[in-house]
Chain A
């Protein structure tokens, strides 16, 4: 089955800096890559996603890039704010409806 590795497991940045989280996946058939943000004690929330026919997608301070050849995708957060502090999960969908999640990255943004 699909295997998703996510790095780093923890990331601490100063407010205003950029943060980058990277994921690799194993199955070249995966074609949908969502990112979820989970604040402490709350539900995961979809923040951005990318499909395999697109190389990059941006939404305000958040961007995701996908390299299908290398089978990796990354989340970029610019101008980080304390409210960006959360656990971020990447996921890969090998077929419709079944997402395999990475182990998560705990992002801490220091004021």
Chain B
């Protein structure tokens, strides 16, 4: 298995809702990432997990809460989002943090209404 799987593919949520994005990989990668991508823009780093521990939080608002239950799974819990949070949320993994390219998932297209 050489893929990163993200669910759901599309999500529409109200500003008072709570939802979660899920990411899964079975490549044995020990680094996992959350990126946010707006239309016609590059991916922006949100969080980095290394060996299931949060190692980077790029000053992301607390309405985004990451979780890494085990080495294969990465979640992003969403609460009280704003319309400007609408974007493509990409999960990625790499063998370790050390200078390896990412394998990206297909992303979750999030719309906040």
Contacts and interface: CB of A to CB of B under 8 A. Distances in A.
Majority DSSP secondary structure for residues of A touching B: strand
B48 to A, nearest CB: 5
Interface stretch (A14-22, A73-81, A90-98): A90-98
Interface residues of B, number: 26
Contact of A97 (B31, B44, B106, B107): B31
Contacts of B104: 36, 43-45
A43 B98 contact: no
Contact of A98 (B42, B45, B96): B45
A34 B101 contact: yes
B48 A32 contact: no
Interface of A: 31-32, 34, 36, 42-46, 49, 51, 89, 93, 96-99, 101-104
19 contacts: A32-B99, A34-B102, A43-B90, A43-B106, A43-B107, A44-B43, A44-B90, A44-B104, A89-B43, A96-B99, A97-B31, A97-B50, A97-B56, A97-B97, A97-B98, A98-B45, A103-B41, A104-B40, A104-B41
